[in-house]
Every structure is written in C-alpha cells, then in structure tokens.
Chain A
Amino acid sequence: MSALLEVRDLSARVEAKAILDRLSLSLPAGEVHAIMGPNGAGKSTLSHVLSGKPGYEVTGGSATLDGEDLLALEPEARAARGVFLSFQYPVEIPGVPALTFLRTALNAQHRARGEAEVSAPDFLKLVRARAGALKIDFDMLKRPLNVGFSGGEKKRMEILQMAVLAPRLAILDETDSGLDIDALRIVAEGVNALRAPDRAMLVITHYQRLLDHIRPDRVHVLAGGRIVASGGPELALQLEREGYDKFAAAA
C-alpha cells in the first residue's frame, strides 16, 4: 500500500531553470517528516509544486495523495482533497475579514467534496475553540486577513486556518521564519495538537530549532533539487553541528 503522499522522481522547473531533480519522498499517514536544506535547494519549490502554484513546470515524475495524481489537479481541487500549505509569507488581503475568508474557504471545500456547508453558529463555535488554543484574540479575526498583523500573528493565522480546514496533508513552509521564541512555541504547540493518525505533515525548515518543538519522525536533506540523505531526528542535530556543506557536495 502506498503512503499518504508519494513523490517519485519529481522534476520541475521555473522558466528555464531546473529546480527539482528526480526528487522522491514517501510520507505515510500519521507521520511528520522534516525537509531541511540550504537556501536555494528547492524547499519552497517542492511546497509550491505539491500545492499547485502556477508558474512551475513539472518535467517528470509523479506525486500522488492517497494514490490519486495530485499534479493534474487545480490548486483548489488539491485543497478540497486535503492539501494545505502554510505559506512562508502569508498574503495580506485588504477588505476581507479573516473570519469571512476562512468561512468562504471552508464552505468551498465542503461543496467541492459534496458535503453540507457549515452553518454560521457551528463555524463560529469551531473557530472560537481553535483560536483560543492558539492565543488568537477573536476580535483580530474581524480584521482584514493578515493586514497589519505581526509576523507571529500571521503564522498563527496560518495554523488556525489549518486547524479549521483539517487537512490530510499539511505542508509547513518555513513556518519558523520571523518568529521569536514565544511565538515559535505557540505555533509548534498548535501544530503538535493537529497530529493525527490519518494526517501527515511535511515541515520545511532551514534551521533545527523548530524541530526541538515539532519532533519529526524522519528528516530528509534536500540539496540540489533532490533528497540526498534521510534519517531519524538525530540527522537534524548533525546538520546543525556540521552544516549543509557535505550534503551540498553530494548533490
């Protein structure tokens, strides 16, 4: 039986520049895997290609979610099947209150899956519970999404959306960037609370410190567009000590 996310020999480019080079990765349900690597290794490209961001051309290989070809789907169809990307730089959307945005997204996913829409009271109850756990002031959700939010608030908003949308596959792209240690802890606790047997997470990071809080089952080193090493959590500590140089050379 294949894993929840199965990536095989995936190659992709932006314009003429090859970024991913026959990348393979197997992520079973219930597990959290970390992707670490130097700048420019292709970490963000991997998250964009898996979530369907326009502008990338897949030149080879495959990526499946529960055995279904992800790469053929529009971004919103991937979202409806449970792909969630926590953005490295969450987008500000002036004029759309965070609550409105989130409810629109949730109901769009429900419709796409042929499920009933969530009523306003049920939605508010759900959001209140999740926001409280992330120490998000409910009044903040009435403000336009991410407009004027601090870096930490934006990342907490991403995790709140993840908690409400309850994805099958969560990809966290540099969720630790721009966070102080307190914000990092809150975000990590939020992520840990979402670990579940039927869910998988891909945690993309440059630094080991996030992995002190989100303990991965496996760590993969991405360099030169491919996975060059995989191991247990101890691999992250080794990277922190020794740097990426020898892996970059291996690629």
Chain B
Amino acid sequence: MSLAEALQHGDLTRLPSRREEDWRWSDLRGLIRALPPAAPAFSGALPPGPFAARFPAERLCLVNGRGPDTIEIAAGENARLGLRLVAAGEGQGDGEGQGGGEGYVGRLRLTLGAGASLVLLQTHEALTGGYLAQTDLEIVLGPGARLERLVLVADAADAVAVTLSHVHLAEGATFVETVLTTGARRQRLETRLTHAARHSAATLSGLYRLAGRRHADLTSLIRHEAPQARTDQLVRGVVDDQARGVFQGRILVQPGADGTDSRMGHHALILSDRAEVDAKPELEIYADDVSCAHGATVGALDAEALFYARQRGLSEAEARALLSDAFLGAVLDRIVDPELEAVGRAWLEAAVSPEVGPGAETLA
C-alpha cells in the first residue's frame, strides 16, 4: 500500500489508510476521492532554484518525477550537488486539493563509492498546486563514504506529497541529514536507514514549521544490524493555526548489534489550541551492551518568556516568532557544512509565514 502504487495502478484502494498503524495520523485513503491524471513531461524552462547564489553547485532536476534515475559519486571523489525535485504540472488546484493537479511518481538512486564524499542540497519545489506525488530515493553509501544533505521541502498548501528515502550505510559510512519543511495538505517525509556494517554513523535532524491547515509527518525507521554504529536524531516542530505535526521515530537494534549508541529526541511547540502534534517515539532493542535514549516533549511557548520579550517592546507576534525560531534553531546548529547551514538559516527566516515563504524564485 502506497501512494506510488495507487498512482501507478490508478487504484484508490492501494492508498495507505488510517487502519495501518504507520499511517493513522496521515491517512491518504480517506483524504483522496479521485486519482488525478498523470503529470505531463514538462516542456518549459525552469526558473533558477532556491539558494542558487548561496550554494553554487551543479543542479540535477527531477521534474514531475522525470529526470536522471541514478547519480553516482565515484570512490574517493568529493562532490557538491544540488538536487531539485520540482512539481511543474499544468493544473491548478482549487486550494482545497480537490480537482486540478496531476499525479506522478519519481525514483532516483544515489550511490557513493568507498571513501566518497557528497554535500547535497535537495530542494522540493512547487511551481503548481494540487499535485499528488511520491518520490522514492535510494541512497547507498560505500565503506567510509560520507553524505551530508539538507532537504528543503516547500510543497504547495493543497498538495499531497510522500518522499521516502532508503539509506544504506556500509562500514564506517557517515550520513548527516537535515530536513526542513513547511508541510502540505498532507505530507510524509520518511527515512528508512540501515546500519549494515560496523562503525557507521547517522545524524538525522528534522524541523517542521506549520501554519494554516498544513500537515507534515516525519517518520523514520533506523535499523541497527551491526555493532558499534551510532544514531543521533533530533526533530523539532512548531505548529500554529489548525496545522498538524506528526513524528514517528522507531529505532530497532537487532541481535548482535552490540555497542550501539542511539538517541532520539522530538520536541514540539503548539501555538494555537486548534493545532495538533502526534508523536510516537519507539526503541526496540534485541542486543546487549547498547546505549539508547529517547526524549519527547510537547508544550506551549513559555508565558514568562513571552511577557519578558513584550515588556522589552516586542509585539506579541514578534515575541512568538522570535521564541519559536529560537526553539527551532537548535536543529540548524547540527548542520555541519557552513554553506548548507547558511542556506538553512535563510530558509527558516523566510519560512516565518509559509504561505508567502520559500517560493522557487524568491530565494537566492
């Protein structure tokens, strides 16, 4: 059951539904009444992508799911790359996600040879609305390879989008990802990562800042199958208006994965009494001698801090924005590459109001 299957077969019954534990907070079956026509090949010229000036590197594009199907970074090579995932159909949604819009499925395989290193800026851009899309990425890191990616997701408010990343880490490989999103009508950003050999390391960071009626679901499954691997995960979110944030994090430590060091944190702020956050952190451990921890909090902005800021002259809206962004900033502190970090900070600044936030053309 997946959005991709449903789109490919034109079969609504293949959509994941709330009856599946994994999709209970991100039901697609009950949401989507009809499957849209397949998105056409895009014939126009793409505008320059976001942050072209701040992150000058070659850009590969998948438009409506069409583009290269593999990217290979050869053993020992160092590369910087932009990957643009663009929804550019002809249709216009009606803002409620009914009618308009097209559907597409994209697939891409990214491999890093032994000792290779890649810094990747992955941007999800919307030149249209109302689309239904699934993008599957397969990411394979060879021994000692290192990938850092910053994923900026700027979907249309009326879009339904699923992105699924399968990540495979060989011995001593390092994977660092930071996912920043403003949500969509329904949006799932899922990472399934496997520590297949010893001494691999994964740093997973996520941030959602949701307003209006947007939804974002950050789901991850981390499998420790070999000894001495590390996972460090932190997700923070702020939800306002009637928005809904979902975090599902599962860390699975298989028998024999001794010496695993794994930690997970999810912290959210709810700014409105009609907003919602659903969180499910899970640790499942079948090995000995492991160090695992998880922490989860959901709360409101600190009333004392709000008053303090207002007493110094900030309006209530300014005070809320300042404190929210400060809360989210801890996620950006984890970005290693300085150029990516600068991009991330500029993105957060622009994301204060998602409806007028990161458009494809407006950010440089």
Residue of A nearest to B303 (CB): A54
Instruction: Decide: A90 near B313, CB < 8 A? Known: A95-B326, A95-B329, A95-B330.
Output: no
A159 to B: closest C-beta gap in Å: 13
* A45-69 contact mask (Cβ, 8 Å, vs B): 1 or 0: 0000001111000000000000000
Q: Are A104 and B303 closer than 8 Å at their CB atoms?
A: no
Of residues 316 to 330 in B, which have CB atoms within 8 Å of A's CB atoms? Answer: 316, 318, 322-323, 325-327, 329-330
Interface residues in B284-322 (C-beta closer than 8 Å to A)? 302-305, 307-316, 318, 322
Query: Which of the 9-residue segments A75-83, A181-189, A222-230 touches chain B?
Result: A75-83
Q: How many residues of A contact B (CB 8 A)?
A: 32
Q: Across the interface, name the chain A residue whose C-beta is closest to B312.
A: A105
Contact B316 A74 (CB under 8 A): yes
How many Å lie between the Cα of A51 and that of B309 in the bound state? 12
Residues of B within 8 A of A75 (CB): 307, 310-311
A residues less than 8 Å from B310 (CB atoms): 52, 74-76, 79
> Who on chain A is nearest to B332 by CB?
A95
Do A90 and B312 form a contact, CB below 8 Å, given A95-B326, A96-B326? no
B315, A91: Cβ atoms under 8 Å? no
Does A101 have its Cβ within 8 Å of any Cβ on chain B? Answer: yes
CA distance A210 to B286 in the complex (A): 62
Residues of B within 8 Å of A78, CB to CB, are: 311
Residue of A nearest to B308 (CB): A91
Question: Most chain-A Cβ atoms within 10 A of its Cβ — which of B308, B313, B314, B318?
Answer: B313
Report Cα–Cα, A54/B310, bound state, in Å: 11
What mask results when residues 319 to 363 of chain B are scored 1 for a CB within 8 Å of chain A, else 0? 000110111011000000000000000000000000000000000
Chain A residue contacts of B308, Cβ below 8 A: 87, 90-91, 93
Pick from A53, A92, A94, A101: contact of B312, CB under 8 Å = A101
Interface residues of A in 80-118 (CB under 8 A from B): 80, 83-85, 87, 90-96, 101-102, 104-106, 108-109, 112
CB distance from B80 to the nearest CB of A (A): 28
Q: Does A165 reach chain B (CB closer than 8 Å)?
A: yes
Given contacts A94-B326, A96-B326, contact A104 B314 (CB under 8 A): yes
Q: B residues within 8 A CB of A102?
A: 312
Q: Does A161 belong to the interface (CB within 8 Å)?
A: yes
Please tell me which one of the listed residues A74, A93, A105, A108 contacts residue B305 in the complex, with CB atoms under 8 A apart: A93
A91 engages B316 (CB within 8 Å): no
- Could you tell me if B322 and A91 are in contact, using CB atoms closer than 8 angstroms? no
Query: Which of chain A's residues has its CB closest to B333's CB?
Result: A95
Question: Which of chain B's residues have a CB closer than 8 A to the CB of A74?
Answer: 310, 315-316
Do B304 and A91 touch (CB < 8 A)? Answer: yes
B130–chain A nearest beta-carbon distance, Å: 36
Interface centre among A76, A85, A87 (most CB of B within 10 A): A76
- Residue of A53, A74, A78, A105 ringed by the most chain B CB atoms within 10 A: A105
List chain A residues, Cβ under 8 A from B322: 96, 101, 104
Closest chain A residue to B329, Cβ basis? A95
Could you say which of A53, A76, A144 contacts B313, with CB atoms under 8 Å apart?
A: A76
- B303, B316, B325, B330: the one contacting A76 at CB < 8 Å is B316
How far apart are A107's CB and chain B's nearest CB, in angstroms?
A: 8
What residues of chain B have their CB less than 8 Å away from a CB belonging to chain A? 302-305, 307-316, 318, 322-323, 325-327, 329-330
16 sample A-B contacts, Cβ–Cβ < 8 Å, listed by A number: A53-B311, A54-B303, A74-B315, A74-B316, A75-B310, A75-B311, A76-B311, A76-B316, A91-B302, A92-B305, A93-B323, A94-B327, A95-B325, A104-B322, A105-B309, A105-B312
Further pairs besides A95-B327, A101-B312, A165-B313: 9, Cβ < 8 Å:
A53-B311, A74-B316, A76-B313, A78-B311, A90-B308, A96-B323, A105-B314, A106-B313, A108-B312
